Amino acid sequence: MNTDPAPHEYRLLESETIHEGRVITLLRDTVAMPAGGDSERDVVRHPGAVAVVALDDDGQVVLLRQYRHPVGQYLWELPAGLRDADGEPPLETAKRELAEEAELAAERWSLLTTHFSSPGFCDEMVLIYLAEGLSPVGRPDGFEVEHEELDMTVERVPLADAVQRVFDGGIRNAAAVVGLLAAAQARATSPRLRPVDAR
């Protein structure tokens, strides 16, 4: 099956930086349309992110409860983080985030899915890994828990219960929804997964 992006006739005519923040950059792009004319698009450039479905030997998954200011509420999420360390491969970012947020390491890693979280306006791609063979580990040297992470709680729940929380509306974070459903399907059907270093 060919997964290469299809060729297209849309052309970028102009790109103006509207805002450059700590994490995101907002651009206003002018794009030529294939049928003629052009259109402006507000585009958020994002470094990308990773998330980890950490599954223990008892079939329990690690969930984090963290406050998220843009939606004004606590969300149940997977261990996750930005790909904002220069040159760090995404798998290494996933390993680091699992250690920082859940104080865990894993013996086995698989790439479950990749997805664009909101491609209508943002180029953020999230790589979701399955981590198995969990063991306790200390947080990386130099890492300090701060801000919302000081208020974060960690819980382990059976994977089936976490999936039910998705359908009940208790888990709404996109990466958590995608990752939990993908992990449940992977355990049920053993699909062929991409290499762990795939993008």
- Asked if residue 5 is part of any domain, the answer here is no
Q: Assess whether 41 and 102 both reside in one domain.
A: no
Residues 64 and 21 in one domain: no
For residue 108, the domain's CATH number is 3.90.79.10
Mean pLDDT lowest for which of 27-31, 147-151, 165-169, 188-192?
A: 147-151
Q: Residue 199 above 80 pLDDT?
A: no
Average pLDDT (177-182) is: 98
**What is the pLDDT, as a whole number, of residue 165?**
98
- Chain-centre distance of CA 115, in angstroms? 8
Domain identity same for 68 and 155: yes
Residue 2 lies in a domain: no
Rounded distance, CA 6 to CA 107, Å?
37
Q: 148 and 124: one domain? A: yes
Pairing of strands 25-32, 153-158: unpaired
116-120, 136-140, 180-184: least confident range? 136-140
Report pLDDT for 85: 85
Closest CA to 179 of 63, 88, 85: 63
**Residues with catalytic annotation?**
149
Are 88 and 114 part of one and the same domain? Answer: yes
Mean pLDDT of all residues belonging to the chain: 94
Is residue 199, in this structure, part of any structural domain at all? no
- The per-residue pLDDT for 149 is 78
pLDDT of residue 2: 53
The pTM of the full predicted model, rounded to 2 decimals, is 0.92
pLDDT for 71-98, tens place per residue? Answer: 999 999 999 999 988 889 999 999 999 9
- For residue 108, how many other CB atoms are within 10 A of its CB? 11
Range of the domain at 67: 49-189
129-172 tens-digit pLDDT: 999 999 999 888 878 777 877 889 999 999 999 999 999 999 99
Confidence band for 41, pLDDT divided at 50, 70 and 90: very high
Q: Facing residues of 105 across strands? A: 135
